[in-house]
Structure 1
């Protein structure tokens, strides 16, 4: 399996998992029960699940009023784009 295929699968899996975490956290918020720590949501985005996080924010209308989430997701996307740019054009 090529690096691009492996990376694509990893991004897809991380994004799907992050999307589910956002949905779970929103459900738990509505129930008033134990939540997903914000550090975990940020960590999943930084690991590569940033597209799932963006989608989760939109679909579940969750964490949209917190500017730090926008900053972390933007930074994660930029870091990954920069890393891929460096890797491909080194």
Structure 2
């Protein structure tokens, strides 16, 4: 049952990351107040990096913005390494 709660949490945080990128892109186009980069990166850091990476590509948003793009990629790489490391540890 705990795994179901974890899965639903990950789905929720990734949906929030996608929504945040979509809203920020719309606000950028319309010249409105933007979502802080720190907020977008925090969403990725707490588990929303797959959604953030997908949204960045889908909405073509913040793809060249530095250091944001590098920080997002680094978060995703660290999380991927942790997931693969934990999977290997539990499978051995």
TM-score where L is the length of structure 1: 0.81
CA RMSD, 1 decimal: 2.0
* Shift >3 Å, 4+ stretches: 81-84
1:62–1:36: structure 2 CA closer, same or farther, 3 Å change rule? Answer: same
| Residue of structure 2 equivalent to 1:8 | 7
Secondary structure of the structure 1 residue equivalent to 2:67: helix
Runs of at least 5 residues in structure 1 that lack an aligned partner in the other structure:
none
- Asked whether the equivalents of residues 37 and 68 of structure 2 are also in contact (C-alpha less than 8 Å), the reply is no
Runs of at least 5 residues in structure 2 that lack an aligned partner in the other structure:
none
| Residue of structure 2 equivalent to 1:89 | 89
- Asked whether the equivalents of residues 18 and 52 of structure 2 are also in contact (C-alpha less than 8 Å), the reply is yes
- Asked whether the equivalents of residues 25 and 59 of structure 2 are also in contact (C-alpha less than 8 Å), the reply is yes
Matched residues, number: 89
| CA drift at 1:10 | 1.5
Distance in 2 (CA, whole Å) between partners of 1:82 and 1:89 is 12
